[in-house]
């Protein structure tokens, strides 16, 4: 089982160092500490285990260190920044693992960019050696890249000539969309094994500055302090430690305090039941800064469950979301998040919920939401309904529970944008602004089946006579379709409207890298990934597809 839970005392590949308002994330990969057997993580190359630690460190910097305004990504090894994803690992990994690995890696890079843009915790990359492939992709996720000018250090995306795969996946997109590298220069860059170094790297906008070795340490610190001075994070605020999750994993279920996950392997599906808080929010933000604060606890539990299911349960293709509890308490927490949104901690909780919902958006599973009597799909939890590919609401009462209802809050109208920059309601009602305004007018109200259907907030409304059969048929039909076709269909339909760097990254990953990782030119017996390091040239099928 791949476990996404860790903490700094268990890190084997990263160190966190602190100097006032500046933190350093030092990459010092232990070659022997691999996630699987059969390869070594030489030259600061990485596998999923390295990135799990990186993601954890980024989260802790945001929540545990409000005093930190700038983070420097650096290497703990001489003459190498990061050699990228480990080639031996990629050559041995299953197709599903390779694609999931690329997806998690890119989500982690996006979280770095989110920290810079929204948490005002600025990331800089201090490249003191070779940054190749995923190593340059890590650097380019930072807001500022410094390269030591020692005639050896450089940046490269060499995947096309060496491995026959898409260069860096997200790195390729960031070169053009974020760094604004000219198209022809990007073509040269991505076709050159040795990459680019020195002043040319600055001229081509691949890095922001080159620094002589004699001034390296001093310049890196000065630049980090310059960025830290721009933050609005409170230097005197109290952070708090993210405690280990309370979690029980059994063969057929995973249980958290606010989330139940039931695995139906025979049916190829998972039921995820989200539980409402048992009490209202605290009276003050200071009391909310606790691991038991419901919105934070829910975000962490959902995050862990999504990652666990992606990595460890690839055949469970349908995820069914249910909810239980008092919707009024969910709305009370939403009101608290909205009232205190300027506070650094509440801002981080809202941003975390946003990122978890985004992770759901790019998950290659069929998502279904069932709104039943006793459910609490309100405000933040209603986002699960709007993220779903299909949703159904029960019409009437059942088992003594009040009629099923959907409830909206202010957070549904801007707090949780998707990767395309739209809210899920904007994506749902693309080109129908009047539908959004009709929904906005019902904020706080209990929107029962007939009205929810009329407002377009659900796909189906069924009464007790039809509910069980119609839901069963819908899920059985879904399970009968090709998972490959569903992945492509869902990825296309979920993201309407404007294209962004983020949608391009995950769109390319879903389509192009997914396809390339199955092609014999990359993964065949004589493909580039298999032949790398053997001294033998790969054999390519020369047909253009």
- pLDDT tens string 461-474: 999 999 999 999 99
C-beta of residue 408 within 8 angstroms of C-beta of residue 379: yes
What pLDDT does residue 170 have?
Answer: 86
Residues of the chain above pLDDT 70, percent: 100
C-beta of residue 462 within 8 angstroms of C-beta of residue 429: no
CA atoms within 13 A on the CB side of 242: 24
What pLDDT does residue 469 have?
Answer: 97
Task: Give SS3 for 283.
Answer: coil
Place 390 in a pLDDT band, splitting at 50, 70 and 90: very high
Place 401 in a pLDDT band, splitting at 50, 70 and 90: confident
- pLDDT tens string 267-297: 999 999 999 999 999 999 999 999 999 999 9
DSSP string covering 441-453: TTTTS-EEHHHHH
What pLDDT does residue 257 have?
Answer: 98
Q: Which two tokens stand for residue 260?
A: 């139940």
More confident residue, 369 or 398: 369
Place 238 in a pLDDT band, splitting at 50, 70 and 90: confident
What pLDDT does residue 167 have?
Answer: 84
Q: In CATH, which superfamily holds the domain spanning 8-228?
A: 2-enoyl-CoA Hydratase; Chain A, domain 1 (3.90.226.10)
Exposed, middle or buried: residue 176 (CB in 10 Å: 0-12, 13-18, 19+)? middle
User: Which residues neighbour 303 within 8 Å (Cβ) at sequence distance 6 or greater?
Assistant: 352, 355, 356, 359
- pLDDT tens string 295-349: 999 999 999 999 999 999 999 999 999 999 999 999 999 999 999 999 999 999 9
Q: What is the mean pLDDT of residues 37-61?
A: 97
C-beta of residue 74 within 8 angstroms of C-beta of residue 43: no
Place 527 in a pLDDT band, splitting at 50, 70 and 90: very high
From its phi and psi, is residue 133 left (phi > 0), alpha (psi between -120 and 50) or beta?
left
Checking if the pLDDT of 168 tops 80, the result is no
Place 405 in a pLDDT band, splitting at 50, 70 and 90: very high
DSSP state, 242? -
Task: Give SS3 for 73.
Answer: strand
| Cα-Cα-Cα-Cα dihedral sign, residues 308, 311, 316, 320 | positive
Checking if the pLDDT of 446 tops 80, the result is yes
Checking if the pLDDT of 77 tops 90, the result is yes
> Which of the four CATH numbers 3.90.226.10, 3.30.230.10, 3.40.50.280, 3.90.1520.10 does domain 248-488 have?
3.90.226.10
Rounded alpha-carbon distances, angstroms, from residue 462 to 145, 320, 367, 476, 478: 55, 17, 18, 17, 18
Q: Give the position of tokens 């990254």.
A: 505
- pLDDT tens string 224-235: 999 999 999 999
β 460-463/447-448 pair status: unpaired
User: Which residues neighbour 185 within 8 Å (Cβ) at sequence distance 6 or greater?
Assistant: 204
Checking if the pLDDT of 169 tops 80, the result is no
DSSP state, 395? E
Q: How far apart are CA 182 and CA 188, in angstroms?
A: 10
DSSP string covering 299-340: HHHHHHHHHHHHHH-TT--EEEEEEES-HHHHHHHHHHHHHT
Exposed, middle or buried: residue 214 (CB in 10 Å: 0-12, 13-18, 19+)? exposed
Place 171 in a pLDDT band, splitting at 50, 70 and 90: confident
Query: Domains of the chain: which residue ranges?
Result: 8-228, 248-488
Rounded alpha-carbon distances, angstroms, from residue 70 to 179, 205, 226, 502: 20, 22, 9, 23
Where are the strands (E) in 296-373, listed by range? 318-324, 366-371
What pLDDT does residue 545 have?
Answer: 83
Q: How far apart are CA 123 and CA 109, in angstroms?
A: 11
Residue 162 CA to its chain's centroid (Å)? 28
Checking if the pLDDT of 2 tops 90, the result is yes
Residues facing residue 273 across a β-bridge: 260, 322
- pLDDT tens string 104-149: 999 999 999 999 999 999 999 999 999 999 999 999 999 999 999 9
What pLDDT does residue 399 have?
Answer: 86
Q: How far apart are CA 417 and CA 414, in angstroms?
A: 6
DSSP string covering 148-212: E-SSS-EEE--HHHHHSS-STTHHHHIIIIIS---HHHHHHHTT-TT-EEHHHHHHTTSSSEEE-
Query: 8-228 and 248-488 share one CATH topology?
Result: yes
pTM for the whole structure: 0.97
Exposed, middle or buried: residue 111 (CB in 10 Å: 0-12, 13-18, 19+)? buried
| Helix, strand, coil percentages for the chain (3-state, nearest 5) | 45, 20, 35
User: Which residues neighbour 145 within 8 Å (Cβ) at sequence distance 6 or greater?
Assistant: 124, 125, 127, 139, 155, 206, 207, 208, 209
N- to C-terminal Cα separation, the chain: 36
User: Which residues neighbour 118 within 8 Å (Cβ) at sequence distance 6 or greater?
Assistant: 347, 351
Total residues found in the chain within this entry: 545
């Amino acid at each position: 089982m791949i476990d996404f839970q860790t903490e700094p005392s268990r890190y084997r590949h990263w160190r966190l160092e602190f100097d006032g308002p500046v933190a350093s994330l030092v990459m010092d990969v232990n070659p022997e500490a691999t996630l699987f057997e059969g390869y070594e993580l030489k030259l600061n190359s990485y596998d999923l285990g390295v990135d799990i630690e990186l993601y954890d460190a980024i989260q802790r910097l945001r929540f545990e260190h409000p005093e930190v305004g700038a983070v420097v990504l650096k290497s703990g090894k001489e003459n190498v920044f990061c050699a990228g994803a480990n080639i031996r690992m990629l050559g041995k990994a299953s197709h599903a693992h390779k694609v999931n690995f690329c997806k998690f890696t890119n989500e982690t890079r996006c979280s770095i960019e989110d920290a810079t843009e929204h948490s005002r915790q600025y990331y800089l990359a201090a490249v003191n050696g070779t940054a190749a492939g995923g190593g340059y992709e890590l650097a380019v996720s930072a807001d500022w890249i410094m390269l030591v000018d020692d005639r050896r250090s450089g940046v490269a995306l060499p995947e096309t000539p060496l491995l026959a795969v898409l260069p860096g996946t997200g790195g390729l997109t960031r070169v053009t969309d974020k760094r604004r590298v000219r198209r022809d220069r990007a073509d040269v860059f991505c076709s050159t094994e040795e990459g680019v170094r020195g002043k040319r790297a600055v001229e081509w906008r691949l890095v922001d500055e080159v620094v002589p070795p004699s001034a390296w340490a001093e310049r890196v610190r000065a630049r980090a302090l310059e960025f830290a001075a721009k933050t609005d994070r409170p230097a005197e605020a109290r952070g708090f430690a993210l405690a280990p999750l309370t979690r029980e994993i059994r063969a057929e279920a995973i249980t958290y305090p606010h989330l139940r996950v039931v695995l139906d392997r025979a049916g190829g599906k998972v039921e995820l039941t989200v539980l409402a808080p048992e009490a209202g929010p605290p009276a003050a933000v200071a009391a909310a800064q606790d691991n038991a604060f419901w919105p934070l606890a829910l975000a962490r539990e959902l995050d862990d469950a999504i990652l666990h299911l992606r990595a460890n349960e690839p055949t469970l293709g349908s995820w069914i979301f249910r909810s239980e509890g008092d919707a009024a308490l969910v709305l009370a927490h939403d009101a608290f998040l909205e009232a205190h949104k300027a506070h650094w901690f509440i801002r981080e909780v809202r941003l975390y919920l946003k990122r978890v919902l985004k992770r759901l958006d790019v998950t290659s599973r069929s998502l279904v939401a069932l709104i039943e009597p006793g459910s609490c799909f309100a405000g933040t939890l209603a986002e699960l309904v709007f993220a779903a590919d299909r949703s159904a609401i029960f019409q009437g009462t059942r088992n003594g529970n009040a009629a099923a209802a959907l409830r909206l809050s202010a957070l549904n109208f801007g707090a949780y944008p998707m990767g395309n920059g739209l809210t899920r309601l904007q994506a749902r009602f693309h080109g129908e602004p009047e539908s959004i305004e009709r929904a906005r007018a019902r904020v706080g109200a209990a929107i029962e089946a007939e009205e929810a259907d009329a407002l377009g907030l659900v796909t189906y409304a069924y009464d007790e006579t039809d509910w069980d059969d119609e839901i069963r048929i819908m899920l059985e039909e879904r399970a009968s379709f090709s998972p490959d076709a569903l992945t492509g269909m869902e990825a296309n339909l979920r993201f309407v409207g404007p294209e962004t760097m983020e949608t391009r990254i995950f769109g390319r990953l879903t389509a192009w890298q997914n396809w390339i990782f199955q092609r014999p030119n990359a993964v065949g017996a004589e493909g580039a990934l298999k032949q790398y390091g053997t001294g033998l040239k790969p054999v390519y099928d020369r047909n253009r597809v």
